[in-house]
């Protein structure tokens, strides 16, 4: 048996429908499937989302975009980071949309497109306060005429990223105002097909508070995967039992001997470790389910394996599937124990884990 991550189609579809009901009529979804769909498996998730009507996707880099294209994803794919010079050709040839944050980058893309006798599709990225990538308002105002002269570029979209939409309303409102001003400055010259500013937190907390901005899409990640308010978790993580040890009192378990046995214990070795994304900081701190019974994870988590106290599990045997977390689990608690956020917990899930649509 393999270590497996099950992705619930039912819950994923529920989340899509929930998002559609939450946003204004006529608005659409850009599904963020970067970082292997936040650990869920990008090609599996994107193909299923495409089946149920989602046609626009966001990724972090050209490799992720090409993997989608090579796996039958036909709609718009936006790279939200910067493509280097040698990647621009690949993007243009595969109809992949590029984010642009500087005039120099746009000129470079335009020259590449001209050589290919093609038109490059881009989204203008606007920095409204994230201080990461993007044009600011004044910079864009100075350079808009230079941008409009680029003949081999189609400016399909414009967007920003709300950096504090979960914790700071005043700052978020200022970001939204800044984006609105930028959009107003440009919309007489550019007809945008894609206008997007609301991420998952923005969609949940601000989308219905903004009446006078003509956006077209929400750009959601964690909402899709079910670890936000009113959504359903889509991931279940399991690992098989490889071996069972019958141990006696005072026997030390694992690296450093951080767990010392009580009398007559059964310790199962399971096929998952920190190389698979099960954080070592969870050692001796969480429980897992073995045949429906809550069992402590004991000893330090190893690179490839972990140990579980199965003393109280009747008829436990090798190859039994151990549930690390289920669809019902709130991963915020596990993440808190390991000093992470949910994004880290799921996106750190390793490539050795088999992904299965459930």
pLDDT of residue 145: 96
- E strands, the chain, in order: 4-7, 28-32, 56-59, 76-79, 97-100, 120-126, 153-160, 194-198, 217-220, 235-247, 252-253, 259-260, 265-270, 287-290, 293-298, 306-309, 321-325, 354-357
Q: Is 34 a catalytic residue?
A: yes
pLDDT at 210: 76
The predicted model gives 246-257 an average pLDDT of 97
Asked whether residue 330 carries a pLDDT value surpassing 90, the answer given is no
The share of the chain scoring above pLDDT 70, in percent, equals 100
Mean per-residue pLDDT, 151-165: 98
**d(Cα 282, Cα 280) in Å, to the nearest integer?**
5
Domains with residue ranges and CATH for the chain: 9-225 (3.20.20.10), 235-326+328-357 (2.40.37.10)
Catalytic residue chosen out of the listed positions 177, 209, 255, 285: 255
Average pLDDT over residues 190-219: 93
Residue range 295-306: average pLDDT? 98
pTM value is 0.96
| Active-site residue flag, 255 | yes
Average pLDDT in the chain = 97
Active-site option among 27, 34, 112, 340:
34
Average pLDDT over residues 157-174: 97
Residue 280, pLDDT score:
98
Query: How crowded is the C-beta side of 8, counted as CA atoms within 13 Å?
Result: 20
| Whether pLDDT at 1 is above 90 | no
Residue 272 has pLDDT above 80, yes or no: yes
């Amino acid at each position: 048996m393999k270590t497996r991550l099950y992705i619930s189609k039912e819950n994923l579809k529920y989340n899509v429908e929930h998002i559609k009901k939450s946003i204004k009529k006529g608005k659409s979804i850009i599904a963020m499937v970067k970082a292997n769909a936040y650990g869920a498996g990008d090609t599996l998730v994107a193909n299923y989302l495409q089946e149920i009507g989602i046609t626009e996707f966001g990724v972090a880099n050209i490799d992720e975009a090409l993997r989608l294209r090579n796996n039958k994803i036909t709609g718009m794919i936006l790279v939200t980071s910067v493509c280097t010079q040698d990647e621009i050709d690949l993007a243009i040839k595969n109809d992949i949309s590029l984010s642009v944050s500087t005039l120099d980058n746009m000129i470079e893309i335009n020259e590449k497109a001209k050589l290919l006798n093609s038109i490059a599709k881009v989204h203008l990225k606007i920095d409204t306060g994230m201080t990461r990538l993007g044009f600011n308002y004044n910079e864009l105002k100075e350079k808009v005429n230079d941008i409009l002269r680029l003949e081999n570029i189609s400016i399909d979209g414009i967007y920003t990223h709300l950096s504090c939409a979960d914790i700071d309303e005043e700052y978020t409102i200022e970001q939204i105002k800044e984006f609105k001003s930028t959009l107003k400055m440009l919309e007489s010259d550019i007809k945008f097909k894609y206008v997007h500013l609301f991420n998952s937190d923005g969609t949940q907390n601000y989308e219905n508070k903004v009446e006078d901005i003509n956006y077209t899409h929400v750009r959601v990640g964690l909402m899709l995967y079910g670890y936000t308010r009113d959504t359903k978790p889509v991931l279940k993580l399991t690992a098989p039992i490889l071996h069972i040890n019958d141990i006696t009192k005072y026997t030390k378990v694992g690296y450093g001997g951080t767990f010392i046995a009580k009398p007559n214990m059964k310790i199962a070795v399971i096929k998952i470790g920190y190389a698979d994304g099960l954080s070592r900081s969870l050692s001796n701190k969480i429980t897992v389910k073995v045949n429906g019974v809550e069992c402590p994870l004991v000893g330090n988590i190893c690179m490839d394996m972990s140990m579980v106290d199965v003393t109280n599990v009747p008829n436990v045997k090798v190859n039994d599937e151990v549930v690390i977390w289920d669809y019902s689990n709130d991963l915020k608690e596990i993440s808190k124990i390991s000093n992470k956020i949910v994004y880290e917990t799921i996106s750190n899930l390793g490539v050795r884990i088999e992904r299965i649509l459930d």
